[in-house]
Each structure stands twice: as C-alpha cells, then as structure tokens.
Amino acid sequence: MRLKDLIFLFIPLLVTCQEAKDTEIWGPIPEEVYTISDSAPPTDAIILFDGSDLSKWEGSWSDKESEWDINDDGFLVNDGTDGRLIQTKENFGSVQLHVEWKTSEYTSFTNQKRSNSGVFLQGRYEIQILDSYKSPTYVNGQAGSVYKQYIPLVNASRKPGEWQSYDIIFDAPKFDSDGNKIKSGYFTVFHNGILIHNHVEILGTTENIGPPKNIAHGNGPIALQSHCCSQVSFRNIWVRELN
C-alpha cells in the first residue's frame, strides 16, 4: 500500500478519535454584565452624562470653562460657538460609545449650519452630527459620516426635534515609539439602531480642509462639537472601555 493511501486511511480514524470537549473552551469566563432595558446603560458602563451634572467634562479651550449648559429638561445643549468643544476629562482608547442627540426644530439654517455638531473619538476622529433629514449637504459630511472619509451606508436621520442615537464601536489606532502608525483605527456605527458603518478603516484625522493626518497619539478624550448656528441637545451618554 502506498503512503498516500495509508494517510487517507488514517485521517478518518484520527477525526473519529476527537471528542466534542477537545474544542470546548471553559475559561476565562466572560464578566457578567446586565442592562435593565435595551436603552439603559450596561452595568459596566462609565456614565458620562445622565442629565445631572457635567463633572466628567471640561471645555477643550485654554480656560477650560465650559459654556455648555444643562437646560431645564436635563439636556446638555451646545455652546453654539464655532470650535468650543466640550470633552471628557478622562482619556480613552478603544470604546463602545452611546450618545443620544436631538437637532433643533428651528430649521431656517441650511447645509452645514443646520444643527451641526459631532462626536470626536480621541479628540480627532469625528462622526458627524447634523440635521440631515431632507436637508442636503455634501454626503461625506452628512449625519453619520466619518467626516470627509466615509459616507453612511444609509441616511437614518429622524425629523428635527426627534431624539436620535449613535452607538459607536471605535477600535483605536496604534503608533510605535517612532511615531509610525502600526495599526489603523476602525469605526462601526449604528444610527438609530441601523448599521451605517461596518468596520471602516479610519484614514487619519477627520479634517475639514485637506487630507487626513496621522500624527502619533495615545488615548484621548471623547469630545462633542459646538458649531454655528442652530443648537444640538444631548442626553444619555455612556461609554464602555474595550482595551
């Protein structure tokens, strides 16, 4: 009998010697995490804003005094001034982030002036917030875009004044000690529960002018953008660290 024939004879025997338990993994056991409802934060989430205070946040500008306010309804309302971002005091790497937001019912502004905000991961990678309900703009800058890098797969925008949500899975990029990017970052994003980005590779910083930049950095804050001209409201912001 040739060697090849012997191998084919023994392969079925080897397979039948295996047992189901050979491919069972019993540890480490995943941590127990719960939610009381689909809209509630998981038990291991860091609550960044629940309507009560801004203790987890600071202004991104030099004096750090935030002009963002909590209104009488317990919603965080943006400053309305260009460039006045509010950011977490804590720095984050890879995260799962939940943000609920509402565009203004005041719809006289158009294009990028109509309830423009944004969620910045590590202070530099923006998922656009905008009123994109029947309000045209460049599509790589509409609501849900990875700003000027990826157009959302669909436009899941709700009407002005209706609450919306982002669930963002951010896989942070990595840089070596020489400042070279050794691993790209990735975004997976759900807008109102609908998948709009499926593990897209972040090309670098989400610049308004010019190409993305890839300057080495470590963990960074989660920031919310203030942008002229109509305001955006926020509620229920929580994050789970994935590092």
Question: CB count, 10 Å around CB of 68?
Answer: 18
Instruction: Using alpha carbons, select from 57, 50, 103, 95 the residue that is nearest to residue 236.
Output: 50
Report the distance separating Cα 216 and Cα 173, nearest Å. 9
231 binds Mg ion (CB under 5 A): no
- Pick between residue 67 and residue 82 the one whose CB is nearest to Mg ion: 82
Q: How far is the CB of 228 from Mg ion (least distance, A)?
A: 11
Residue nearest to Mg ion (CB): 118
Q: How far is the CB of 19 from Mg ion (least distance, A)?
A: 56
Residues 139-198 that bind Mg ion (CB under 5 A): none
H-state helical runs in the chain: 3-17
Which tokens go with 56? Answer: 């987890």
Q: Among 87, 94, 116, 157, which residue sits at the site for Mg ion (rule: CB under 5 A)?
A: 116
x/- map, 76-105, Mg ion, by CB under 5 A: ------------------------------
Question: What DSSP string describes 55-67?
Answer: TTEEESSTT----
Q: Which span (69-77, 82-90, 123-131, 177-185) binds Mg ion, by CB under 5 A?
A: 123-131
Q: Which span (44-52, 96-104, 112-120, 197-205) binds Mg ion, by CB under 5 A?
A: 112-120
Cβ neighbors of 215 (< 8 A, separation 6 or more) are: 179, 205
Instruction: Using alpha carbons, select from 179, 197, 177, 180 the residue that is nearest to residue 188.
Output: 197
Would you mind telling me the total number of residues written for the chain in this entry?
243
Instruction: Using alpha carbons, select from 85, 99, 95, 118 the residue that is nearest to residue 185.
Output: 95
118 binds Mg ion (CB under 5 A): yes
Q: How far is the CB of 128 from Mg ion (least distance, A)?
A: 5
- Pick between residue 149 and residue 225 the one whose CB is nearest to Mg ion: 225
Q: What are phi and psi of 200, to 5 degrees?
A: -90, 145
Q: How far is the CB of 118 from Mg ion (least distance, A)?
A: 3
Q: How far is the CB of 141 from Mg ion (least distance, A)?
A: 8
- Pick between residue 45 and residue 224 the one whose CB is nearest to Mg ion: 224
Q: How far is the CB of 225 from Mg ion (least distance, A)?
A: 5
Interacting residue ranges for Mg ion, rule: CB under 5 A: 116, 118, 128, 225
